[in-house]
Structure formats: C-alpha cells, structure tokens
Chains A and B, each alone.
Chain A
Amino acid sequence: MPQIVVERLAKRYSVAEREPGVMGAAKGLFRRRRRTIEALKDVSFNLEAGELLGFIGPNGAGKSTTIKILSGILRPDEGRVEVAGLVPYADRIRHVARIGVVFGQRTQLWWDLPVIDGFELLRDIYRVDHAAYQRTRDELVAMLRLERLLDQPVRQLSLGQRMRAEIAAALLHEPRILFLDEPTIGLDAPSKLAVREFVHRLNRERGVTVLLTTHDMHDIEALAKRVIVIGHGRVLADGTFDALRARIAAEHSSDDDARDETLAIEEVIARFYHLHGATEA
C-alpha cells in the first residue's frame, strides 16, 4: 500500500471581485461579486515510502494547494487523501506530528529569536525527548553547516542561511515524510547546491519520503527520479523525466529541434506547458 494516496482531489477558492475605479468600489459596498477559482480539478497520484517526487507546473497550477492539503492545513472540496494511513485534515494533530514541511516563501522560525531558541521551542512543541533532540540537532547542524548560525537571530540570516535553518527546523522531530514547497527559491548557486545535496542524502540514506515543488529544473534534474507535471489543477504527466522528454519529442514531431536529445531541460518544460496550454492566465 502506498504511503501517500491522492485520489480525484478538487479544491475551489471563492474570490471577491470588484470593478476598477471609484464607481467599482462604490458598487462593491452594496453588492459583492464572488468568483470561484478551481485550484484543483482532478489530481490523483500515489507515492511509495522512500520515493523522491518532483512536483512541477506553472505558477497558479495547484502545486502549493496540493501540498497544503497533504499537510493537513487545507480541506479539499472533493477527493480522498491518505498519508501513512491518516486523512491529514481530519486527523490533523496526529498527522502533522509525523511530517515535516518547508515553505520556501515563508519562515517558520521566530524572527526575533536566535536559531537555537527556535529549535528548542520546536522541540517542546513536538514533545521531542531531550536526548533524541540533541542527537538529531547535532546531526542536522553538521549536515547543514549551521554551527555559526545557531546564536544569531533569524532576522539577521541571509536567505541561504535561513533556508538551511528552516530545513533543519522541519526535521527536528524526525519525520518520515518531508514536503518542500519551493525550497530553493531565490537562493544563490552554492546554497541551492547545499540544499539539493542535503535533500538527496536525506532521501537516500534515511529513506525519508520527499515531495518537492520547484520552478528550478536543475532541482528536478538533480533530485527527482519521478516528476509530476501539474497544470490547470490536473495532472498532465507523471513519470520519469526522460519519459517526459520523449513525450515532448513525440507530440512535437513536426518540429525538428524537439527531437534534439540535447534540448535543455528548461526548454522541454516550457514546451510541455505550452503544448498543454498550461501557462498562467
């Protein structure tokens, strides 16, 4: 039985709209127009324990929504989700104790606290045994080279330093499943490489299941054996990256350079989005 089961997931957001300008604002006082956005229409996939899955798709495709549902902080409107035997949003507290999550665009560490204080707070919040905490923390500090950062307040860290601290923070309770939502966004090359290498080791050596979203195709190339392309709230492709490349070549057979095996990975993806009309509205 797969560790993560996602079946026919659908999620709609209702968005308040108003017409532009003063008249629009005045109208809005009396009548609110609401529009429904379908973030997810029909997303299904399975993930085995120990897999490393790359989740890609244009902005607004539904990647983050899927991660939020899998993390238990959002309820789907339709469909079935099970992570390690639990329905995330129904059994939130038990579920979140067993997963780690990093949102590249947000920080889960406390801005004004030194990194180490944040770690200790997380230790208590997750009720981690002190001895186990020390062991895990020392391992993470060594692997992510955090020694010098521990006593600095989070607000003083560079983005690359912060992201390494964030990843460590997500792993202090030794989760078996890790969700990474754009963990390399905005990072410089050395930081990206450090994050990639760490995620790779975590997956290979510790067998942690990783689900990663990114716009950086090098992340995918370096890490993921399996890739899911999502667009317009649907799964457009699910397989190895080479299979995706072959599919582009086939679908685009009239175009000569599409057969070119040396086609850059960015190019393959851009073509794929284009072919499926999956660029953002």
Chain B
Amino acid sequence: MELARPYVAAFSARFMLMLQYRAAAVAGFATQCWWGAIKVMIYAAFYRASPGATNAPMTLSQVITYTWLAQGFLALAPWTTDPDIALAVRSGAVSFDRLRPVDTYSLWYARAAAWMTSRAVPRAALMFLLAGIILPVFGLSEWAWKLPPTLAQAALFGMSLVLVVALASAVVMILNIAVVVTLNERGVNYLLSPFTVVLSGNLLPLALFPDWMHRLLFLQPFAGIVDIPFRIYSGNLEGREAFAGVGLQALWTLLLVAGGRAWMHRVMQRLDIQGG
C-alpha cells in the first residue's frame, strides 16, 4: 500500500479536482446526447430500409445500446494528450515531476487515468439516466439504453470497462511522451484522433464493417476501447469470443505500457529543461 501511496494520491487529487468542472460535464453530456440521437436515428433508418438487415452481425437494439454506451463513455477514448502534461512540458514544470521520488511513468499514468474517469463517470451517469431510464418511462424503450442480457455478460463487461481505462491511459501515455519529444501537443492530437474514432468502433461498430475486415479490426488495440467492451455489454460478443476480447485488451495494455515505459526511459535520459 505504501508503495502505491503517491500514485493513489495523484489519482484522487486529479479526480476530485476534475469533478468540480460541472459546466464542462453538462456541456459534454449535451453534445454527446445530440450525436447519440443522430446516430441512433441513422441506424434505425438503415436497419428498417435494408432488406438484408436481419442478417446483420448486430441487432438494431444492440447497436442502439452500443451507441449510447459509446457516447456516455466518450471521455475514455484516448483522442488527445493529457492537457496538464502538455502544459507542464511547455512551461517546464515537468522538472518538478522529475524532482519527486516516484516513477514518472506511473505518476503520469495515474493522472491520465484520473483525468479520463473523472470526465467519464458523470457523463455516463447522466446518459444512463436519460437513455436508460427516461426514454423507457416515456414509452420509447425501442430507442433506449438496455441492461446487459445476462449477469455473466454484465460481470465480464465490468472487467472489460476497467481494462478500457487501463488501455486508454496507456495510449494517452504514448501521446504524452510524444509531446515531451516534440514540445507541442497540437500535431500529436491531430494525428491520432481520426484513428481513435474509426478504429475504436466509435464511428461505427467494428462488427458492421465488411466481413473480411473483422478479424483485423478485432485484433488492433483500439478495438479494446469501444467495440469489445460495449459489444460484451450488449450481448453481441459472447462466450469464447468475449473472453478473447478481454484477453486482447489486457495484452494490448501490457504491450503499450511496456513500450511507453521503454520510450519514456530513453526520452528522460536526454531531457533538457530549458530556461533559467
């Protein structure tokens, strides 16, 4: 416990601080509702208009639940660097992180995890309130965020969601280190966000891509951020496939953490702190 104390403290300090940004949470929630509603209506139109939709790899109900989940947990998608790290790199405050008797990678990782979860938790809760409770109450269950089909799927989803945070933080860490190298976050942020949106399954569930792409899309790391957890939740990914999905999330997390640590070690060896 004593070993983890600095990192737990850094996580909770960041988490509590971020929770204070209520206006940002409400604004983010509103935007995500808007996009969620548009997406849900587009899927409904496609499913109803297309005669082949009965053979689609996901049912409309699964796609709708998946969409609300993806919108609610949008803050867990690693689009950009941690803004605090970017600021610290520009101001030189990074030197203070190097002055602490802790592992810098773990410290930043804990902060990135706090930054993402603190934004995701309130937004996801509001989203569930709206799409999971209010919609059915008003007789719109067809459009609602439904509960997982079985308890087993729910438990597996819980595990998978924890791994989403672990994996997404590892991706953010790669971006953070890229910012330390380039000294500016803008290029790094532009570079990754389209990949994150498409490859995670945020734009379109990966199961709805052409069949020949499925295996490839399932194996790449971003699948573990949206597609794997939310298909497990909706019951679309079951049994051995679901376990394989969770295994992939864990494997990619380990690989990205190992890669990130090795890269950070090299970067920190030749870090220059400029200015007087």
A interface residues with partner B (beta carbon < 8 Å): 13, 59-60, 63-64, 68, 71-75, 92-94, 96-97, 101, 103, 105-108, 110, 112-113, 117, 120-121, 124-127, 181-182
Contacts and interface: CB of A to CB of B under 8 A. Distances in A.
> Which 4 pairs between the two chains have the least Cβ-Cβ distance?
A124-B9, A97-B101, A73-B98, A125-B6
Contacts of B8: 124
Nearest to A121: B13
B6 A106 contact: no
Contact of A127 (B2, B17, B274): B2
B136 interface: no
A72 B100 CA distance: 10
B96 A96 contact: no
A24 B8 CA distance: 49
B96 A106 contact: yes
B56 interface: no
A59 B276 contact: yes
B273 A126 contact: no
B269 interface: yes
B215 interface: no
A60 B13 CA distance: 37
B101 A73 contact: no
Given A93-B102, A124-B5, A74 B271 contact: yes
B187 interface: no
Interface residues of B, number: 28
Contacts of A72: 98-99
A117 B15 CA distance: 13
B28 interface: no
7 contacts: A13-B274, A68-B273, A74-B271, A93-B101, A110-B17, A113-B17, A125-B9
A103 B91 CA distance: 13
Given A106-B95, A108-B96, A125-B102, A73 B271 contact: yes
Contact of B276 (A92, A105, A121, A124): A105
Interface in B1-54: 2, 5-6, 8-10, 13, 17
B272 interface: yes
A96 B93 contact: no
A3 B102 CA distance: 23
A22 to B, nearest CB: 21
Nearest to A125: B6
A120 B11 CA distance: 13
Contact of B100 (A59, A103, A125): A125
B63 to A, nearest CB: 40
A19 B273 CA distance: 24
B270 interface: yes
B101 A96 contact: yes
Contact of A93 (B2, B17, B96, B103): B103
B95 A68 contact: yes
Interface in B97-121: 98-103, 107
A198 to B, nearest CB: 20
Contacts of A117: 13
A121 B101 contact: no
Given A92-B98, A96-B100, A106-B95, 7 more contacts: A63-B276, A64-B276, A96-B101, A97-B101, A121-B10, A127-B5, A182-B276
Contact of B101 (A68, A110, A112, A126): A126
B210 interface: no
A127 B275 CA distance: 30
Contacts of B93: 106-108
B122 interface: no
B6 A74 contact: no
Contacts of B99: 71-73, 96, 101, 108
B180 to A, nearest CB: 13
Given A73-B273, A94-B101, A113-B17, A124 B91 contact: no
Interface in B222-276: 269-276
Interface centre among B9, B17, B274 (most CB of A within 10 A): B9
A74 B272 contact: yes
Contacts of A127: 2, 5-6, 101
Contacts of A64: 275-276
Contacts of B17: 110, 112-113
B10 to A, nearest CB: 7
Contact of B92 (A13, A60, A106, A121): A106
Contacts of B273: 68, 73-74
A73 B8 CA distance: 24
Nearest to A109: B96
Nearest to B276: A64
Contacts of A93: 101-103
A73 B93 CA distance: 12
Nearest to B3: A127
A75 B101 contact: no
A60 B5 CA distance: 39
B9 A121 contact: yes
Nearest to A99: B99
Given A106-B91, A126-B101, A127-B6, A75 B96 contact: no
B99 to A, nearest CB: 5
